Amino acid sequence: MLNLKFIQENPELVVEKLKKKHFEAASIVQQITALSVKKNEIQATADQCKAEMNKISKEVGILMREGKTDEANAAKNRTAELKDSIKQLDEDFARIDQEVFNIQVLLPNLPSDLVPEGRTPEDNLIVKSHGEIPVLPENSVPHWELAKKYDIIDFELGVKITGAGFPVYKGKGARIQRALISFFLDEARASGYLEIQPPLMVNEDSGFGTGQLPDKEGQMYHATEDNLYLIPTAEVPVTNIYRDVIVEAKDLPIKNTAYSACFRREAGSYGKDVRGLNRLHQFDKVEIVQIAHPDNSYELLDGMVAHVAGLVEKLELPYRILRLCGGDMSFTSALTYDFEVFSAAQEKWLEVSSVSNFESFQANRLKLRYRDEVTKKPVIAHTLNGSALALPRILAALLENNQTPEGIRIPKVLIPYCGFDLID
């Protein structure tokens, strides 16, 4: 959530910067400005009433001691009138304050100056490419056919049990899932991340804190009776560990990692792009989250990008890193890098990770602060997170790119985790 004072003091800047995200903010900013003026007027009137009431209250005792009963009673009546006025003014102030808040949360985060112009994924900037595109043997097939051939993923059984987008992993398919999770978690811990096992459901406050609510409620599974949401990513519960918390500056950055199942409705998804593992309603992912000092959050973002790049390289997958343009960024992000791996059988790039700096946007919603070492005052922190990594499309690329006439080769780094070097 953008800081209210910043909006009030920089209305034109907010409107101009959000144009890069193709968000028309002028009307919202104008409403905030107008309502803020009303709030100030109400507050000024309330302060005047309180000052008058305090003055009269002191005079009542003097009037009574002087025997001026009628004047004292008139003063008491005026005090009662002022109390009623103050009560009404306080109610009006609270109502308008809530109106401002409701409008304020509709504004997306401001994009960093590093964000390129553009509206669609085609406008994203490729900042790095690594690895050679594999040449597959004749008669190579996409991963959903490999899954059926080697009986490692059963999509139809998932439909029977739950519905489309909920695959069942079997045998070596299940084991490679577990291997990837363990590998990703071990790499994160080796990079200084504390492992967390979070809940898979969150309340409204948690959804609001990281920006899923009120923006993305239609994309989350909602347990209506208990008013809980299945998490779309471990970012939500892990970041909310620090909601309403003041951390010490010396403890920054705080680095957490978590494996979780993730649940996304993916409403409106259809066609060839949702085949097999390309787009699921339930999938596994390892997340990395950092709570950072504002002075070095972009340096830490570069480190997180390097961490994810190291994972993909160890898996021997060709990849590219894209800096997302304004029109393709999320509501909450200030700067995002996407990772894509090349799927040789499908002959396309598949997104496998997003690594983002949210600056103070989430932290402002979360009331997540650090105590400044000099002033000792609480200051809003920065938050960052990244997928390290999401499993489905990584597995799709691994299966497709490593298929041979003998079977599917397992990357060297995963063999100790899998316990086998070939799916045959």
List the CATH number of the domain containing 50. Answer: 1.10.287.40
DSSP conformation class of 246? E
In a domain, 126, yes or no: yes
In a domain, 147, yes or no: yes
361/256 same-domain check: yes
64/193 same-domain check: no
Which is nearest to 152 in space by CA: 343, 353, 389, 403?
403
In a domain, 109, yes or no: no
In a domain, 116, yes or no: no
d(CA 18, CA 326): 9
d(CA 144, CA 346): 11
d(CA 8, CA 107): 13
Digits of tens for pLDDT over the chain (424 positions)?
Answer: 999 999 999 999 999 999 999 999 999 999 999 999 999 999 999 999 999 988 888 887 787 777 778 888 888 888 889 999 999 999 999 999 999 999 999 999 999 999 999 999 999 999 999 999 999 998 999 999 999 999 999 999 999 999 999 999 999 999 999 999 999 999 999 999 999 999 999 999 999 999 999 866 678 999 999 999 999 999 999 999 999 999 999 999 999 999 999 999 986 555 556 899 999 999 999 999 999 999 999 999 999 999 999 999 999 999 999 999 999 999 999 999 999 999 999 999 999 999 999 999 999 999 999 999 999 999 999 999 999 999 999 999 999 999 999 999 999 999 999 999 999 9
pLDDT of residue 66: 79
Cross-strand partners of 194: 256
Q: Which of 69, 104, 139 is the last residue of a domain?
A: 104
d(CA 292, CA 128): 25
Q: Is 125 helix (H, G, I), strand (E, B) or coil?
A: strand
137/85 same-domain check: no
d(CA 248, CA 253): 10
Task: Tell me the binding residues.
Answer: 233, 264-266, 287, 351-354, 385
Q: Which of 46, 78, 104 is the last residue of a domain?
A: 104
In a domain, 381, yes or no: yes
In a domain, 185, yes or no: yes
97/151 same-domain check: no
Q: Tell the residue number behind the tokens 């009673």, with chain if given.
A: 73
Q: Does the bond joining 167 to the residue before it have cis omega, within 30 degrees of 0? A: no
Q: What are phi and psi of 409, to 5 degrees?
A: -75, 140
Task: Tell me the binding residues for L-serine.
Answer: 233, 264, 287, 385
65/159 same-domain check: no
256/303 same-domain check: yes
The total of other beta-carbon atoms located within 10 Å of residue 21's CB is: 22
Do 310 and 183 contact (CB within 8 A), yes or no? no
64/20 same-domain check: yes
375 Cβ partners below 8 Å, 6+ apart? Answer: none
Task: Tell me the binding residues for ATP.
Answer: 264-266, 351-354
In a domain, 114, yes or no: no
What does the radius of gyration of the chain's CA atoms come to, in whole angstroms?
Answer: 28
Cross-strand partners of 404: 407
Chain CA centroid to CA 148, Å: 35
Q: Is 213 helix (H, G, I), strand (E, B) or coil?
A: coil
pLDDT of residue 89: 96
Chain CA centroid to CA 405, Å: 42
Q: Which of 104, 136, 166 is the last residue of a domain?
A: 104
Which tokens belong to 143? 């991963």
d(CA 352, CA 58): 70
pLDDT of residue 268: 54
Q: Is 327 helix (H, G, I), strand (E, B) or coil?
A: helix
In a domain, 190, yes or no: yes
58/185 same-domain check: no
282/138 same-domain check: yes
d(CA 169, CA 82): 70
211/315 same-domain check: yes
pLDDT of residue 289: 98
pLDDT of residue 297: 98
d(CA 35, CA 100): 7
Domain count, the chain: 2
d(CA 342, CA 137): 16
Maximum Cα–Cα distance across the chain: 110
pLDDT of residue 271: 54
411/344 same-domain check: yes
What's the CATH number where 138 sits? 3.30.930.10
Which tokens belong to 274? 């949702």
Q: State the sign of the Cα–Cα–Cα–Cα dihedral 226, 229, 230, 236.
A: negative
210/342 same-domain check: yes
Give the residue numbers spanning the domain of 331: 121-423
Q: What are phi and psi of 248, to 5 degrees?
A: -85, 140
E strand or H helix that includes residue 64: helix 26-65
